Amino acid sequence: MLFTDTSFAVFLPIVFALYWLLQRAPKWQNALVLVASYVFYGWWSWRFLLLIAFTSLCSYVSGIKMGTGENVGKAAHRKLWLWANIVINLGILAIFKYYDFFVAELAQLFGLDGDPLMLHVALPVGISFYTFQALSYSIDVYKGRVEPTRNIVAFFAYIAFFPQLVAGPIERATQLLPQFLRSRHFDYKLAIDGARQILWGLFKKMVVADNCASYVDAVFAQSQGPASHLLAAVLFAFQIYGDFSGYSDIAIGTAKLFGIRLMQNFRTPYFSRDIAEFWRRWHISLTTWFRDYVYIPLGGSRVPKWKVVRNTFVIFLLSGIWHGANWTFVAWGGYHACLFLPLILLGRNRRYTNTVAAGRLLPTWKELGQMTLTFALVAFGWVVFRATGIPSALAFIRTMCHPEAISAAWMFFADSGISVARVGIIVMLVVEWLQRDKEHGLQDADRVVRNRWLRYLLFAALFVATYFFRGAYTEFIYFQF
């Protein structure tokens, strides 16, 4: 089931109504969330429900075993249960996501036919997301950051919570699990804010991302002129942002309808002034996951310089591999490591922790230049990310860098084929610039537009625009990860 499907528009109100009818019975609320989440995921493929259940069970049992009386003082036993769960869950992820890729690569390297050894299994949607969420629980229990729970229904609901099940945010047990262990009461203001965030997410996905996709897919499928390549690179940068941040907005907004708060996953990353700030604002749940569970345990930046270099490349290469079994993702991760490394070695990676142009309507020329350069570097990397292979990425970049590509600026403002995408991008950028210190583009709309009827009219206009100017449906990009 997809957020943009008619089936979800029917499913959500039904679950919402039943959920709040059970307001005085949190155990039954959790049971409803679990059933609804399994229906939501099983709508795609019921067979892979067994995989989620198995992942949940392994993490649940390991948590209990690490926290039972006989193991509390036995570090070796607790470590055994931790690593057993890590190996099992990463092993499942490796089999479904990476096994066929590495078999094919090794077979090609040695000139063999690897097809008989391949599994040819479908990649379960969201497996990377819920696996990392399950692993964070085990690690946090081992580290003593969270108490192991014996409430199996609440724990299974934590792993499979349907709004963020297939594409995040990747939640931590310390933040999300306690919300399933306490009573929830309907919060009208939170629900209204959630509905607005859903609307904003749908606009970014259906108007911005889907309209960009038609142009981007055509150019990446068949080589065209330099200007078209450069324009496609820029449009893909907005497509992937509108697509993924749009999903996150819908997920976070949907969770708010149920009185559940999820972590913010994007904070206007294209207004970043350097690459370090970009990575503090892009896919925050994954970035902080690697920081907390990989980078810091390796010593972080408080180690000799050569280890800082190692740690930086480790987390960026792992981030690339996490995205999929293709060398393009590895190259994309390495590219960002090279951009990030000078900042961290010079101690300049924390220069920009405040909101750009805080307290001012417009940025300075310096800030505008910094944001433009950062966007250009990020968009260049997205070409490698989007390409089907390294050779095609290099060919695309070679064409894109031709001097004739400068006419792409004219094409962006004049090409009638991208008129809806162009307007959608401009609207998105203007709204998010004005709301850059907020959680989402429509937050606190009451304060921005004080007239209630005018506010309702603007919401209605945004809804109508989303419906009538939506692009041809494209699957959420991060479903493949």
Cα–Cα distance for residue pair 461/78, rounded to 1 Å: 56
The residues that are catalytic are: 323
Q: CA–CA distance from 88 to each of 82, 83, 160 (Å)?
A: 10, 8, 18
Using alpha carbons only, give the angle 164, 272, 478 rounded to the nearest 5 degrees. Answer: 30
Question: Do 92 and 56 meet the contact criterion of CB atoms below 8 Å apart?
Answer: no
Which of 79, 55, 76 has the alpha carbon at shortest distance from 141? 79
Question: Do 338 and 316 meet the contact criterion of CB atoms below 8 Å apart?
Answer: no
CB-neighbour burial class of residue 61 (10 A; exposed 0-12, middle 13-18, buried 19+): middle
